[in-house]
Amino acid sequence: MPLLHRIARTDHPTIAFVLDGIPREGRHGDTLLTAILEATDALRRTEFSHAPRAGFCLMGACQDCWVALETGERLRACSTPLAPGMRIVTGAREVIR
Ligand code: FES
């Protein structure tokens, strides 16, 4: 279930991207954080407890929102604009052991 529900920019052009191997759509003007959390309930899991995370400061300062592209490039989800064709890997769906 998505963590966020869009209430603005509902008429902006869509942007196709891939999230953890699943095709998704965001909207022009979305950050990665917005697009990801409109599609699912977490940006990533913590390294130690595997608890779900959804960002903290939302302004590029806390480092809580790291995601990666399939190429390995790491990005802050809260301050990176969504671009067409991005293939984002969050690891948020990894099985907790
Ligand atoms: S949420 Fe703090 S840096 Fe992105």
Q: Please work out whether the CB of residue 65 comes within 6 Å of at least one atom of ligand 1.
A: yes
Residue 27: count of CB within 10 angstroms of its CB: 18
Q: Residue 66 CA: which ligand 1 atom is closest?
A: 4
Q: Residue 77 CA: which ligand 1 atom is closest?
A: 4
Tokens encoding 36: 């990801």
Tell me: the pLDDT tens digits for 15-57?
999 999 999 999 999 999 999 999 999 998 888 898 899 999 9
Residue 58: count of CB within 10 angstroms of its CB: 16
| DSSP one-letter string for 10-32 | TTSPEEEEEETTEEEEEETT-BH
Q: Please work out whether the CB of residue 64 comes within 6 Å of at least one atom of ligand 1.
A: yes
d(CA 10, CA 51) in angstroms, rounded, equals 31
Kindly list the structural domains of the chain, giving each domain's residue range(s) and its CATH number in brackets, ordered by start: 14-89 (3.10.20.740)
Which pTM was predicted? 0.90
